[in-house]
């Protein structure tokens, strides 16, 4: 699943929790959660929380699609 975050300016704790839960659920079922197009403020927050080490993040939709493969 690719989530385009280009329209997201801020995520509250509940939103972050939902993304982590979705990531875990997808991984258990053989899927992947890929986030892309994070604005700098959101990217910094993910780095601070070390979520960039847990979640797969790509700079744009094209690289996210390429990561999935054919």
Produce one character per residue of 21-46: b if its CB has 16 or more CB atoms within 10 Å, e if not. eebeeeeeeeeebbbbbbeeebbebb
Res. 70: pLDDT tops 80: no
Identify the bridge partners of residue 2 per DSSP, sorted by sequence position: 34
Identify the bridge partners of residue 38 per DSSP, sorted by sequence position: none
- Structure-token pair, residue 70: 């054919």
What's the pLDDT tens digit per position in 9-65?
999 999 999 999 999 999 999 999 999 999 999 999 999 999 999 999 999 999 999
Alpha-carbon 35 to chain mean position: 3
pTM of the model: 0.90
Map out the domains of the chain as residue ranges. 2-68
Q: Are the C-beta atoms of residues 49 and 16 closer than 8 Å to each other?
A: yes
* CATH number for domain 2-68, candidates 3.30.750.24, 3.40.50.300, 3.30.70.1560, 1.20.1430.10: 3.30.750.24
């Amino acid at each position: 699943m690719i989530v385009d975050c280009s329209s997201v300016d801020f995520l509250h704790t509940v939103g972050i929790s939902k993304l982590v839960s979705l990531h875990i659920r997808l991984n258990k079922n053989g899927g992947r959660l890929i986030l892309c197009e994070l604005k700098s403020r959101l990217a910094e927050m993910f780095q601070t929380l070390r979520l960039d080490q847990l979640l797969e993040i790509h700079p744009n939709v094209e690289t996210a699609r390429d990561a999935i493969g054919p």
